[in-house]
Amino acid sequence: MSAPPQAPVAPPAGAPAAHGAPGGASQGAAGGAGAGPSGAIVAALTASGGTESAGFLNDIIANLWPNISVVGRDMTKSIVEPMFASMLPSPLNSLHFAKIDLGKVPIKLGNVDTHKMASGAIKMDLDVDWDGECDIELDGKMIPKIGIEHIKLNGRMSMLLGPIINQMPLVGAAQVAFINPPYIKLKYTDVAAVANIGFIDRSISNVIQSILGGMMVLPNRFLVKLDAKNDWFSTFQFPLGVLKVTVESGANLGEAKESKGFLKKLVHDEADCYVDATLGAETWRTKTINNNRNPEWNESHDFLLSDHDQVVTVECVDDDTTSDDTIGKATVTVKELLLSGASHDLALVHNEQPTEAKIRLKGHFMALVADPASLNSQEEGTHGVLTVLIASAFHISGNREELKPSVKVVWGESNFRTAIKSDSPGADVQNPGFDVAYNVPLSNKVTVHGAAPVRLILMDGEKERGSVDIPLEKVLGAPGMALAEDHKLADGAIIRAAVVIRGTKSLH
């Protein structure tokens, strides 16, 4: 049986430093309107020494592909199949895998960019490409058998290796994630024999993207412990900072009134436009401006940023009473947006065809710092972040076969819960590891001053085993505004957790 450390727990090693180096990397901030980015952020954004080939990695993958295929088959069945049941409408929710053969064509890696972060971790970004000739069969009730013969997957992946330790295996853990949602295309067999194949394809693809997004698309990372003693507090990578995205205006959106037919003029004047902006798993929407092909929004939203190669996607939509019509989409990497300094015009594409429509964006980066000054601001926007790390629990009493431990985190209107653990080979359900983090943006409306404590609740199934409150005044007074402790409950169980508070700072 493992036991918690007896010595005091140090603050998380990956916490953003007080001098404004969030996530262990030195960052700056983009300048204001009309100003170029600061020298610090230019250095951070252009630090790459160039990419290299991945020949030896591809050789290793090719030799391991039969084994990788077995693991991929088992994970697909155990993870994707239950999601079909919970996410798809009837009768598609009855789909299950009758056969999974990932074929003989291995995944290919390329354009490897490796550098060391200030935290000491090694960051390796690389392209992932798979043109897989597969043999996959899906069966279900009241629907014909569905075959998948080809999978196309393409994306940019980031691998974090750290913390670096002075004993074998030298690296404590690997964290793997796609920087942006990958491109996935499925090719089906006997398409003509399956009615509504387009709907089925969209439904299955949405489930796959949802699973990938929840497991390994930034800010979510898939954690693989290489050292059994590795500590979550020294492994977790905090957000780089806060990216303020401002949707300023649009140009040439939709059809001009004089170019419309008679019936369209009767039904609808010019476009009533809004913009959806997406970064990572978060999407934000502007207000709708009616009857204007050249609207000015000048609205902003703050996103937590995990990587400068993340993509901001904007979709301009005509807000109709019957159904909204997409005018066009555009993407820009955070790196491109910040290096442009001032406003950035994005040309919209509709149905893969260029248009004359444009959206003007501006980006502004704020570092996360161990300084409470910004937390007192009454201005709109994000002024800081509260992060709760749940590492593990210890000494949970009870029948191992019946225990279903998890930890709930409650603070104000924010409510999170870890995965529920169970007794299984190789797992210690009485001393489970969770290794998860939850971030809550702070603003003039969501503040740590005078707020309720963070409550941690040890759950057994749906039953509460015990709880502990962590006063935020204690966190604010801790070194670096980071409090990492082993919290003992009344029944002797322990929750190992950390609470970290960060303010924001613009570095011009």
Reported as type and span, the H/E element at residue 460 is strand 454-460
The 8 Å CB, 24+ separation contacts for 319-322 are: 319/272, 319/273, 319/274, 319/288, 320/268, 320/272
User: Which pLDDT tens digits describe the chain residue by residue (508 residues)?
Assistant: 444 443 445 556 555 554 333 333 333 333 344 456 666 666 667 666 688 999 999 999 999 999 999 999 999 999 999 999 999 999 999 999 999 999 999 999 999 999 898 788 999 999 999 999 999 999 999 888 899 999 999 999 999 999 999 999 999 999 999 999 999 999 999 765 666 678 888 899 999 999 998 899 999 999 999 998 888 999 999 999 999 999 999 999 987 655 544 445 444 567 899 999 999 889 999 999 999 999 999 999 999 999 999 999 999 999 876 656 899 999 999 999 999 877 899 999 998 899 999 999 999 999 999 999 999 888 899 999 999 999 999 999 999 999 999 999 999 999 999 999 999 888 899 999 999 999 999 999 999 989 999 999 999 999 999 999 999 999 999 999 999 999 999 999 999 999 999 999 986 5
CA 379 vs CA 11, 345, 450: distances in Å: 30, 27, 18
Cα separation, 488 vs 395, in Å, equals 10
Neighbours of 464 (CB within 10 A): 10
In whole angstroms, give the CA distance from residue 247 to residue 466: 46
Distance between the two ends of the chain, CA-based, in angstroms? 52
Which residue reads 């204001």 in tokens?
A: 32
pTM for the model: 0.83
CA 498, CA 21: separation in Å to the nearest integer? 19
Task: Give the span between the Cα atoms of 155 and 108, in whole angstroms.
Answer: 11
Residue 252 CA to residue 56 CA, distance in Å, equals: 50
498 within 8 A of 11, measured Cβ to Cβ: yes
